[in-house]
Structures are given as C-alpha cells and as structure tokens.
C-alpha cells in the first residue's frame, strides 16, 4: 500500500496521466469508479478503461496495453483484475509505465513483476480479512491516498454505496469487514446520493422501496452486469460517475433495454443446454457443454441455473471459430478453480476462484476437456455432495411468526453469502385459502397463523397450486420477510420448501 500511495501521489502532483483499468462486471465497474472519482477529487488526470468482453477478453491484456500507451499514461492501476496478467504487465513496465495491481482474485501461478500488488489473497499477505471484494480493496487504496494528500475523506466515505453494490453483486461473504462496509453502504444507497444509482433504482422499479442486499443481487446488479455482458462495461462506469440526472437517466434506460435482451439470450441458451443434457442420458458429475452461437456474456448466468437444477459443477463454452470462451459455476463442495487447474494443460488460459471461473480453450480440445473435468469432479465429489440440501436454522410454531420476530431479524442484516437469512421450519400448518399461481411459476398461499392469516410466497413452486386445497396440513421451510406494496408493509413467509 505504501508504494502504491507514494507513486499515485507523485503522479497527481506532477500531472501525470493515470489509467484505471477495470473488469467488466459490477465489482470491476464500481472499483474503477471509486478510483477514478478519488483521483479526480485530488486533482489528478485519470482515464478509466474497461476492455470489451467479447473482442478483448478477460483481464488486463493487449487492449489495456494499447489503451495505456494511447492515453500517454505513466501509471496504470488495475481494478478487479491484473493478478494473473504477467505478460501484459511486463509489456507496460518495458514501456516505462508503472503498474499497481488492485485485485482480489486468487493467483493462478506466478505474480506479475510490477510496482505494487494490492491483493489480500496473494501469498504472504498479512492483511487479516481475505474476503474483501475488489471494490473493498479500491476503497482502502482510495482512503489511504486521500489521507496521504490531505484530501477530503468524505469523498471516499460517501462511495461506500459503490462498495456495497459491488460486494453483494460479486457474492463476497457478508461477514467481517464486508458486513460493516455493506451495512453502511446500504444506508447510503437508500439515501440516493449517487445520480447514476438513483437513475438505476428508478428504471428498475425500486423507487421508494428499501434497498436491501437481496434487491442488489436480483434487481440492480443484473442490469449493470448486462452492459458488461452484451454491451460495453465502460457505459456502466459512466453511469456511476454521472453528475446530472439527464445523463444518468439516459444511460439507465440503455441498461434496462440491454437487460431485456440479455434475458432473452439466457432463455435461448438455457433451453439449448437442457436439450444437450437430455440427450446425454447419464449426467456426468462435472458438466461441460459447448455450443456455437452462444453469447460469451450470458453463459455464466446459464451455468448458475444448471448448477441449481443438477447440483453439480457446470462449465459452458461459447464456441467461435477455432476457439471457445467458457464460464463455470460450482457447488459448495467443489473447488472449481482447483478442478479446472487439474485440466490446465488442455486450456489456453483460465482464472477465477472456488465458486466461479472462466476458461479459454481450442475447439479441438473441448471433448477431451469435458471428459477430464468430469473425471476430476467424480474423484473429488461423493454422491452425498450432489444432493441439494436445505438447511433449517430453527423449528418454531407458526404462531411465533410475528412483527417482533421480523424486527429482531433486521439486526442480523445484511444477509447474503456467508451470512444467509435464517430459514425457519413450522410443522402442521393449515392452508387457509385455495392456493394460486403468481407470475410465471410462483405459488401464493394464505396460512393460518393463530387468530390471523399469514401470506406465503414460493417462486418456482407454481405446479403445487393444483395439489393444495383449503384445510390441507403442510410442513413449511421459509424465511420471514416484510412485503412492501404501495407503501404498506405486511409479514410474509418466503417459502424455501413445502411438503404435505
């Protein structure tokens, strides 16, 4: 940190151009925005840059080197990338450009030789919290730089909304420092100080509703991710750096349209992948599927859906010409980064972490990679690992679901990875009214709760509506929520599972 701060301070004082090179997901966009806004607030000359996902590929590569040279940069700071970019960073250093890596990804091999590497997960790093997202690292760097230059710390503190947005979107564990950063960041998000986030909240239909970690993960983050998946992620940075309502609203509308297109691509790719698996018959322990015409920007989302359905690690590869770009997701019992590493001799490159990873591979090696990966997964996973498990935290009578309980649970927030919302179970609960479907595949019930009725909602359970009748007795596993509708709030059981 000391070397990084000293060099950035000197660059700002000498009016040297600093290029901030980000990644194209939400964490990368937010990290880029945090560093860019900080350097600008201190009077520095800064150019934000994010490569195009399809044309330029992942990480700091040739496109980043060209961008730095074209900008006349004397310093390059990465944001959510760079830990594995050994050769591109060597090229920058040879050109006389100092490189500071700001990242959180697991090193896949040797580290690049450069001025400074800020990564809590690098070997021998003594920093105590290894769970920071890249935005958390960028925030720490920004705060240290601002203090070193005697700047206004409030500029950085008021970007905790971006830290929260990135930390939740990147599914970083919400414990330790992340819990604190997100808790305060959610307050700032609700206050709406960032014009770009305000526009995103409005366009996604969340205006007037509390911004929770869940709403970030399921509503806000996908819209930002869409521009990185099928558009140009730098547009997302421009949104987060917007100074005017008109500029922010215009970009937010673009993101909304891109998100709709992305959803259509998701459905088409998911249908194609399911069809391939049906033809296989026996589902391998580790799934690798490849297809021509798949968009590299959506295969990660589809892989996540398949993991949910089949409870095993999945890698999808979008083929284009002689090569393919793949994206994988995993189950808790399987270290995806390590599993892919056991097949690394078949790959052009790979990177990621335990739960998610990306690969680049030659078309002719896909079949061998598929077979090898399936064998690695079969060796490392037991049959019990492949059974989806619902863990219940506490069994309670349905009468205990009260306003007091819901208010008590708020003290455990924010909920998310590493700190999931509690799952309760209640037995022999009576269905008070005929079940019905809502949305595409949702189930809505009204349950007897003492002298009152309790609404229950379960997504993906619509088929049960025809089976449940008034007066039926059911066991339910659920989370306690407050349903906000038209300014009014009421208790709701969000069903995780139900049995007659």
What is the reported pLDDT for 244? 94
pLDDT of residue 169 exceeding 70: yes
Model confidence pLDDT, tens digit, residues 251-292? 999 999 999 999 999 999 999 999 999 998 889 999 999 999
In terms of domains, do 360 and 467 share one? Answer: no
Is 0.75 topped by the overall pTM? yes
Residue 162 lies in a domain: yes
Model confidence pLDDT, tens digit, residues 56-104? 877 899 999 999 999 999 999 999 999 999 999 999 999 999 999 999 9
- Domain-ending residue, one of 367, 386, 405: 386
- Domain-ending residue, one of 219, 242, 258: 258
Q: Domain span at residue 80? A: 2-258
Query: Is residue 261 classed exposed, middle or buried when 0-12, 13-18 and 19+ CB atoms within 10 A define those classes?
Result: middle
- Domain-ending residue, one of 334, 365, 386: 386
CB 177 within 8 A of CB 419: no
Token pair for 487: 């300014």
In terms of domains, do 240 and 103 share one? Answer: yes
Give kind and range of the element (H or E) at residue 369: helix 366-380
- Output 486 or 139, whichever has higher pLDDT: 139
Residue 275 lies in a domain: no
Q: What is the mean pLDDT of residues 103-114?
A: 90
- 314 DSSP β-pair partners: 287, 329
Model confidence pLDDT, tens digit, residues 281-340? 889 999 999 999 999 888 998 999 999 889 999 999 999 999 999 999 999 899 999 999
Residues 6+ apart with CB under 8 A from 125: 119
How far is Cα 20 from Cα 141, in angstroms, rounded to an integer?
Answer: 13
Query: Is residue 206 classed exposed, middle or buried when 0-12, 13-18 and 19+ CB atoms within 10 A define those classes?
Result: middle
Count the domains in the chain: 3
In terms of domains, do 315 and 373 share one? Answer: yes
pLDDT of residue 389 exceeding 90: no
Residue 356 lies in a domain: yes
- Output 106 or 46, whichever has higher pLDDT: 46
CATH value at residue 202:
3.90.1640.30
pLDDT of residue 487 exceeding 80: no
Of the listed ranges 184-188, 237-241, 480-484, the least confidently predicted one is 480-484
What is the reported pLDDT for 63? 95
Residue 266 lies in a domain: no
Q: How many CB atoms lie within 10 A of CB 485?
A: 9
What is the reported pLDDT for 485? 64
Residues 6+ apart with CB under 8 A from 247: 195, 238
Tell which residue, 219, 222, 233, 130, has the closest CA to residue 172.
Answer: 130
pLDDT of residue 484 exceeding 80: no
How far is Cα 408 from Cα 326, in angstroms, rounded to an integer?
Answer: 43
Tell which residue, 436, 468, 447, has the closest CA to residue 397.
Answer: 447
Q: What are phi and psi of 316, to 5 degrees?
A: -110, 140
How far is Cα 103 from Cα 80, in angstroms, rounded to an integer?
Answer: 4
In terms of domains, do 211 and 327 share one? Answer: no
């Amino acid at each position: 940190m000391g070397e990084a701060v000293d060099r950035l301070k000197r660059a700002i004082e000498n009016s040297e151009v600093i290029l901030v090179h980000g990644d194209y997901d939400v964490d990368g966009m937010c990290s880029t925005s945090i560093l860019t806004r900080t350097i600008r607030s201190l009077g520095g000359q800064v150019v934000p840059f994010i490569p195009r996902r399809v044309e330029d590929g992942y990480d700091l590569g040739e496109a980043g080197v060209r961008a730095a040279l074209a900008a006349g940069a004397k310093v390059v700071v990465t944001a959510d990338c760079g830990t594995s970019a050994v050769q591109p960073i060597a090229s920058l250093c040879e050109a006389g450009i100092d490189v500071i890596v700001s990242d959180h990804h697991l090193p896949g091999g040797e580290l690049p030789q450069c001025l400074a590497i800020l990564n809590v997960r690098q070997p021998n790093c003594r920093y105590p919290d290894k769970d920071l997202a890249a935005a958390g690292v960028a925030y720490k760097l920004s705060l240290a730089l601002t203090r070193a230059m005697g700047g206004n710390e409030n500029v950085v503190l008021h970007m905790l909304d971006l830290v929260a947005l990135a930390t939740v979107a990147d599914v970083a564990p919400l414990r330790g420092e992340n819990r604190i950063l997100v808790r305060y960041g959610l307050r700032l998000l609700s206050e709406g100080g960032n014009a770009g986030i305000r526009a995103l909240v409005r366009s996604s239909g969340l205006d007037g509703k509390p911004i929770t970690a869940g709403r970030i993960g399921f509503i806000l983050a996908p819209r930002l991710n869409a521009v990185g998946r099928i558009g140009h992620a730098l547009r997302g940075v421009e949104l987060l750096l917007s100074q005017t309502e008109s500029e922010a609203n215009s970009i937010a509308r673009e993101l909304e349209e891109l998100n709709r297109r992305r959803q259509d691509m998701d459905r088409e790719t998911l249908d194609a992948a399911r069809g391939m698996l049906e033809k296989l018959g026996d589902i391998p322990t580790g799934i690798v599927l490849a297809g021509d015409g798949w968009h590299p920007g959506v295969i990660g989302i589809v892989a996540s859906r398949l993991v949910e359905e089949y409870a095993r690690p999945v890698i999808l590869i979008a083929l284009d010409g002689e090569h393919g770009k793949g994206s994988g997701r995993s189950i808790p019992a399987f270290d995806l980064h390590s599993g892919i590493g056991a097949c690394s001799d078949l790959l052009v490159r790979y990177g990621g972490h335990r739960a998610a990873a990306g690969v680049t591979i030659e078309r002719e090696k896909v079949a061998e990679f598929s077979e090898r990966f399936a064998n690695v997964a079969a060796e490392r996973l037991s049959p019990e690992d492949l059974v989806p498990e619902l863990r219940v935290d506490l069994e309670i009578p349905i009468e205990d679901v009260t306003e007091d309980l819901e208010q008590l649970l708020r003290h455990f927030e924010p909920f998310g990875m590493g700190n999931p919302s509690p799952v309760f179970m209640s037995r022999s609960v009576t269905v008070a009214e005929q079940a019905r479907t809502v949305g595409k595949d949702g189930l809505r019930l009204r349950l007897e709760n003492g002298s009152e009725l309790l609404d229950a909602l379960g997504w993906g359970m619509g088929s049960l509506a025809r089976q449940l009748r008034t007066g039926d007795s059911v066991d339910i596993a659920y989370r306690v929520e407050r349903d906000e509708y038209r300014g009014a709030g009421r208790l709701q059981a969000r069903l995780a599972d139900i049995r007659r």
